[in-house]
Amino acid sequence: MSTENLNSQEAIDKLKNLINKIDVGMLCTQTRDSKHVHAVPMSRQEVDDEGNIWYLFSSESETFKHLKEDSSVCLLYSDPRDYNFLSIHAETEVSQDKARIEKYWNKMVEGWFEKGKEDPRVRVLKVIPSEAHYWDTKSNKFVTFFKVALSGVTGAKLDIGREGDLNI
């Protein structure tokens, strides 16, 4: 696997591409009460043109409580079928931005909030990446395994993918 660090717009494009492809990532928060991270699956609403990742979530969630103590998070995305992975360290901002709630509201989100868009528990989470690293084989698992095995047997250097930092 070769290294390919990406910067600025290329990094944002790669981040968007991987998140939009994988969709659900594990949002990890930390609390003072535990040495373990708290991880929950979250489906993104949008990755904007600056690389920020947006979610809707509840003020009654453990995640909300944790973010009040520590606004830093880690997001982990994994697509084992195609061997695509993404790790993001970020800061967050929480709001009740009505325009964003309106923009991101959908049937899936509606299932979490009994009172709809006007539910006082609805919060908007903006995740602002500070560090990101990706692994992208650019092929499926079978082809990747075949290339690795062939490389091991023949000694040939085969392109099995890229990994690198995303400097947004």
From 25, 98, 118, select the one nearest 63 (Cα to Cα).
Answer: 25
DSSP 88-150: EEEEEEEE--HHHHHHH--HHHHTT-TTGGG-TTEEEEEEEEEEEEEEE-SS-HHHHHHHHHH
Mean pLDDT across the chain: 88
pLDDT tens profile 26-53: 999 998 888 899 999 999 999 999 999 9
Extract the residue ranges of the chain whose pLDDT is less than 70: 1, 138-160
Q: Domain boundaries in the chain?
A: 2-167
> Is pTM, for the whole model, over 0.95?
no
> According to the model, what pLDDT value does residue 162 have?
83
Domain 2-167 has CATH 2.40.10.120: no
pLDDT at 122: 98
